[in-house]
Structure 1
């Protein structure tokens, strides 16, 4: 069971975990936006949601996540390679089932990513062929995560993607470029952790935890939803990423994300080009330490009580 599964579950233990996180998660009134527009209001739609299936929505979300990171790496001095997107279990599956044609395509898009990031020019051009390759990576990852990859046929995997999916991804990418690159939120010397990872203790205890991206002092969670309103589950999700980041720091973890000193947690609403953020300094210290102590107890992480008090 992963962190996301815990947050969705109605199991009594999971409900207790959710109540702990909720006790420090910011409410609607606590968020701000960089644009100055009141958060969670009826924003102008920059990318209209025209997708007709949840499958396509998931595909767009995963592909956008890949492409946004490629954009960040292209315009900064940070290092990113196709290895960051590689799923060894997918490669093993393709090799074992002798899906050589798909494996060739999988490795081809990886090489294309690495070539693109190694040969930067003034402007990044993401053509339809490249986006199609990213869609294939996203398709394979989503099939693998959902457990359907073993029963998916070659015809299913290589089936042409609807034009509306390409258009949606391209529109979301354009929004991201405008908000993060052209507005200067990401600078050439920005510190970026592309796939924030947690210590083995945290990962094993939770059964998995995946944050989206950490840029300088802000931990972001991407949302490609068409809903502009406040959702407490979104606040709890990004807050939980922050809490476990702090717990890793208390345990003196050396994972890459510990390079950052997180001051803000934020939701990026990709369809509206809006960032809703919260300054974590506004969480009362007493409440924060209580939440960490309770999560330490619930997940049996073994952090000494005194270390939490002294943190």
Structure 2
């Protein structure tokens, strides 16, 4: 159960997150338009006939946006540690075809590396690569049916519609995101940030990107309206990082996990079809409320530790007992500042 799944299905968890989650009126836009309003102009119409197509385009766009940012800062890490790699490993186990990584995935990885390193222009080729990587990420996250057909799955259906849609989205991204100077060659960027032990506590949580202390979440929906799920997701990322920082900075952990030591207070939804930015700054929340929320969340994790008992699978020397004790100590704090 990932962060988004837990928010959707667990009321106790959702209620804790919601205490700091921003409402519609709490956001500001870069354009000055009213957030989530009819003032937005749709620049790329969503005309894809199948919901699955829209989902795939969304994942592919996430990849392409990161690759393009990788070009700006000259960092090929944008093409590393992709969920698509977990997808190909899962696909190999499912099909017992262990040549897939070398024969299918590695050429995609090479194409991404060349695209970033050589600062290549957006082409139909790299758009198709992103769609293929997107399919693999979807496979990693999906439940596999008994009648699963590998060849049918790896075929990009209706590419003649998906590629033009992606191309238009990237043209808007170039104009609104890249050309605006939000990211530059000196920017501090974390690609696909994870939240260490906090990710284990919710059975998986990884965000899109952090640029100069702002966490950006890319959305390709054609709906401009406010969606509370987005606010809860962004607030979840923020709180998971707060708990991670509290544990790692203030408690003795013998064997720690590898993670990106990140700090952010500001989040932003980038609506790719509108070229609009919806910002929220958690610094506006009173410290007492935020501290209480972290304590309550630690209490929840003390009773619902997610995949903490399987932490050794990812990090054999991780200090499971140390993490458990740290979570319990945070949960048992008096209502005092952290």
Both structures adopt the same fold (TM-score exceeding 0.5): yes
TM-score (norm 2): 0.82
Q: Is the 8 A contact 2:31 2:276 kept in 1?
A: yes
Question: For residues 215 and 206 of structure 1, what CA distance do their matches in structure 2 show?
Answer: 24
Instruction: Assess, with a 3 A threshold, how the Cα gap between structure 1 residues 255 and 286 changes in structure 2: closer, same or farther.
Output: farther
Go from structure 1 to structure 2 and tell me whether the alpha carbon gap of 1:88 and 1:226 turns closer, same or farther (over 3 Å shift). Answer: closer
**Residue pair 1:250, 1:308 contacting (<8 A) in 2 also:** no
Q: Which residue of 1 aligns with 2:130?
A: 134
2:336 counterpart of 1:309: yes
The CA distance in 2 between the partners of 1:186 and 1:112, in whole Å, is 23
2-structure distance, mates of 1:103, 1:54: 31
- Which residue of structure 2 lines up, in the alignment, with residue 30 of structure 1? 26
Q: Is the 8 A contact 1:250 1:307 kept in 2?
A: no
Runs (4+) of structure 1 exceeding 6 A deviation are none
Q: Tell me if 1:258 matches 2:258.
A: no
Q: Mind listing any 5+ residue stretches in structure 2 that lack a counterpart?
A: 250-256, 303-326
Does the CA-based 8 Å contact 1:77-1:189 persist in structure 2?
no
- Superposition map of 1:62-141 within 5 A: 62-80=59-77, 82-85=79-82, 86-88=84-86, 90-91=88-89, 93-94=91-92, 97-98=96-97, 100=99, 104-120=103-119, 124-141=120-137
Aligned pairs for 1:168-207 (under 5 A) are 168-200=165-197, 202-207=198-203
Contact kept? 2:172, 2:272, Cα under 8 Å:
yes
Instruction: Return the TM-score normalized by structure 1.
Output: 0.89
Following TM superposition, by how much is the alpha carbon of 1:179 offset from its aligned partner in structure 2, in angstroms? 1.8
SS in 2 for 1:251: helix
CA separation of 1:303/1:90 partners in 2, compared to 1, >3 Å: closer, same or farther? farther
Would the aligned equivalents of 2:53 and 2:162 in 1 still touch at CA under 8 Å?
A: yes
Shift of 1:310: 3.9
**C-alpha separation between the residues in 2 aligned to 1:31 and 1:38?**
9
Report the CA distance shift for 1:303/1:62 in structure 2 as closer, same or farther (over 3 A): farther
Q: Report if the CA contact (8 A) 1:292-1:308 is conserved.
A: no
**What SS does the corresponding residue of 1:84 show, helix, strand or coil?**
coil
Secondary structure of 1:114's counterpart equals helix
Q: Distance in 1 between matches of 2:145 and 2:125?
A: 23
Matched with 2:315 is none
Q: Deviations over 1:220-257 (max 9, x none)?
A: 11111111111111111101100111111111268554
Matches within 5 A, 1:5-84: 5-9=5-9, 14-42=10-38, 43-80=40-77, 82-84=79-81
Q: C-alpha displacement at 1:295, in angstroms?
A: 0.5
Q: Distance in 2 between matches of 1:74 and 1:214?
A: 15
Q: CA RMSD for the aligned pairs?
A: 2.3
- 1:209: Cα distance to partner? 1.1
Question: Larger RCO: Structure 1 or Structure 2 (Cα < 8 Å, ≥ 6 residues apart)?
Answer: 1
* Equivalenced residues, count: 302
**Alpha-carbon distance between aligned partners in 1 of 2:128 and 2:270, rounded to the nearest angstrom:** 24
What's the counterpart of residue 212 of structure 1? 208
Q: CA offset at residue 262 of structure 1?
A: 1.3
Gaps of 5+ in 1: none
